[in-house]
Amino acid sequence: MAKINFGGTTEEVVTRKEFPLKKAKTELQNEVIAVVGYGVQGPGQSLNLRDNGFNVIVGQRKNSKSWEKALTDGWIEGKTLFEIEKACQKGTIIQFLLSDAGQIQVWPKIIKYLTYGKTLYFSHGFGITFNEQTGIIPPKNIDVILVAPKGSGTSLRRLFVKGKGLNSSFAIHQDISGNARSKAIALGIGVGSGYLFETTFKKEVYSDLTGERGTLMGAIQGLFAAQYKILRKKGHSPSEAFNETVEEATQSLYPLVAENGMDWMYANCSTTAQRGALDWWKKFRDAVYPVFQELYDSVESGKETKITIEANQKEDYRINLEKELKEMRESELWKTGSEVRKLRP
Ligand SMILES: NC(=O)c1ccc[n+]([C@@H]2O[C@H](COP(=O)([O-])OP(=O)(O)OC[C@H]3O[C@@H](n4cnc5c(N)ncnc54)[C@H](OP(=O)(O)O)[C@@H]3O)[C@@H](O)[C@H]2O)c1
């Protein structure tokens, strides 16, 4: 394992160099990998495993768009594509990739197939960490592992096709075989990970829920909306407010930050922008820190998962979701965004 110094803290990272695909295939040569669920992660992980030469089948409920998608992607009914229970029966490694709410509903039906020596695999620490809410408590005589790609299943597949990879975290919850760690790493390499970072189920889910509610999605929309609002209130046109809030950020600055880091970005802008950004960033940090504290507490206490599970189980979840998304889509900010996007040269 490579030891890498991350800003003063040394962490061990698994790379493809020390755990090449060949080794991963040898590790899993006697396994039948059943990828259960063909939503977002399911296609990415199963297709990458298949193209990497692993013995993989897909489990998906019938009469659904996801079943049709699996057929279109080349999975063959009765040979490599089965109903969920059948796939769990046939698989020796069950990759449980239903939506987190779907996992709770399907769990009672599949538990009987989790027999001695099998492996249960998750891509999120949600079900296991919050098992008082999810009811997902695996039998004691199987391995339970996690590989969580740090990105969408769509990106996982796209990068794989380009010959690249996405980084993933991995964790072990139960190691009955004594080999759970190697299995997790082999599967991580098999699904197309570039580098693998070790974590625990708990840390994975806490950081993930914080991130998506924070800077990845929740906080960023909040920040955009607040800046847009003040600019509009002070008489700036919608296009000016949008360009200064979102367009310049996503089109010009964020890709440069991704490539070179924030200090480089600060060093390579006008001295006017530089001075202002240096003066203001700590004020923003201090203003939102209490909100992040509240958010992490809400994740840790299980409040966030409770809200998520309750919302997802409601019959009218999709209808309400569409209402909330419509409100965002039809806000002046994002209506302006839709027009600005058309004007990109
Ligand atoms: N989205 C990502 O890129 C991402 C990234 C990292 C980790 N993860 C984790 O990976 C896992 C899978 O996430 P995902 O986003 O791929 O899920 P998703 O797209 O929401 O999963 C949908 C899948 O679950 C099935 N499903 C939902 N409810 C069901 C039910 N009651 N009975 C049977 N099947 C049901 C769907 O079948 P139908 O189509 O028939 O409804 C479909 O196959 C989750 O643990 C998630 O947290 C996801």
Question: Which residues lie below 8 Å from residue 183, measured CB to CB, with a gap of 6+?
Answer: 27, 28, 93, 119, 143, 145, 177
* Tens digit of each residue's pLDDT (9 = 90 or more) over 146-168: 999 999 999 999 999 999 999 99
Give the whole-angstrom CA distance, residue 186 versus residue 25: 7
Q: Is the pLDDT of residue 145 over 90?
A: yes
Bridge pairing between strands 56-59 and 33-36 = parallel
| Ligand 1 centroid – CA 107 distance (Å) | 13
Q: Mean per-residue pLDDT for 35-40?
A: 97
Bridge pairing between strands 33-36 and 9-15 = unpaired
Bridge pairing between strands 93-96 and 33-36 = parallel
Instruction: Give 344's pLDDT tier (boundaries 50, 70, 90).
Output: confident
Ligand 1 atom nearest to 156, measured from its CA: 3
CB neighbours of residue 43 within 10 Å: 23
Cβ(153)–Cβ(44) below 8 Å: yes
* CA angle at 54 for the pair 199 and 42, rounded to the nearest 5°: 60
| Ligand 1 centroid – CA 148 distance (Å) | 13
Ligand 1 atom nearest to 149, measured from its CA: 6
Ligand 1 atom nearest to 63, measured from its CA: 40
Q: Is the pTM of this model over 0.85?
A: yes
Tell the residue nearest (CA) to atom 32 of ligand 1. Answer: 102
Which of 99, 154, 205 maximizes ligand 1 atoms within 8 Å of its Cβ, making it the mutation to test the pocket? 99
| Ligand 1 centroid – CA 220 distance (Å) | 24
At 294 the pLDDT is: 98
At 257 the pLDDT is: 97
- Nearest C-alpha neighbor of 130 from the set 44, 201, 51: 201
Q: Is the pLDDT of residue 51 over 90?
A: yes
Instruction: Give 345's pLDDT tier (boundaries 50, 70, 90).
Output: confident
Question: Which residues lie below 8 Å from residue 39, measured CB to CB, with a gap of 6+?
Answer: 66, 97, 98, 99, 153
Q: Is the pLDDT of residue 37 over 90?
A: yes
Q: Mean per-residue pLDDT for 299-313?
A: 94
Mean residue pLDDT across the chain: 96
At 308 the pLDDT is: 94
Which of 40, 63, 156 maximizes ligand 1 atoms within 8 Å of its Cβ, making it the mutation to test the pocket? 40
In one-letter notation, the amino acid at residue 313 is Q
- Percent of the chain whose predicted confidence (pLDDT) is above 90: 95
* Tens digit of each residue's pLDDT (9 = 90 or more) over 120-143: 999 999 999 999 999 999 999 999
* Tens digit of each residue's pLDDT (9 = 90 or more) over 83-126: 999 999 999 999 999 999 999 999 999 999 999 999 999 999 99
Q: Is the pLDDT of residue 305 over 90?
A: yes
Pocket of ligand 1 (CB under 6 A): 37-42, 60-61, 64-66, 97-100, 102, 105-106, 123-124, 126, 148-149, 152-153
* Tens digit of each residue's pLDDT (9 = 90 or more) over 242-295: 999 999 999 999 999 999 999 999 999 999 999 999 999 999 999 999 999 999
| Ligand 1 centroid – CA 312 distance (Å) | 12
* Tens digit of each residue's pLDDT (9 = 90 or more) over 53-91: 999 999 999 999 999 999 999 999 999 999 999 999 999
At 155 the pLDDT is: 94
Give the whole-angstrom CA distance, residue 224 versus residue 341: 16
CA distances, 312 to each of 131, 222, 249, 295, 296 (Å) = 16, 23, 32, 20, 21
Give the whole-angstrom CA distance, residue 338 versus residue 142: 50
Q: Mean per-residue pLDDT for 219-231?
A: 98
Q: What is the set of active-site residues?
A: 124
21 — alpha (psi -120 to 50), left (phi > 0) or beta? alpha
| Ligand 1 centroid – CA 301 distance (Å) | 24
Which of 97, 207, 309, 312 maximizes ligand 1 atoms within 8 Å of its Cβ, making it the mutation to test the pocket? 97
Name the token pair of 142.
């199987």
CA distances, 208 to each of 124, 169, 202 (Å) = 8, 11, 10
With tokens 């999605």, the residue in question is 217
Phi, psi of 120 (to 5 degrees): -110, 130
Q: Mean per-residue pLDDT for 333-340?
A: 97
At 1 the pLDDT is: 78
Instruction: Give 222's pLDDT tier (boundaries 50, 70, 90).
Output: very high
At 318 the pLDDT is: 87
Ligand 1 atom nearest to 98, measured from its CA: 24
- Nearest C-alpha neighbor of 73 from the set 51, 96, 95: 51
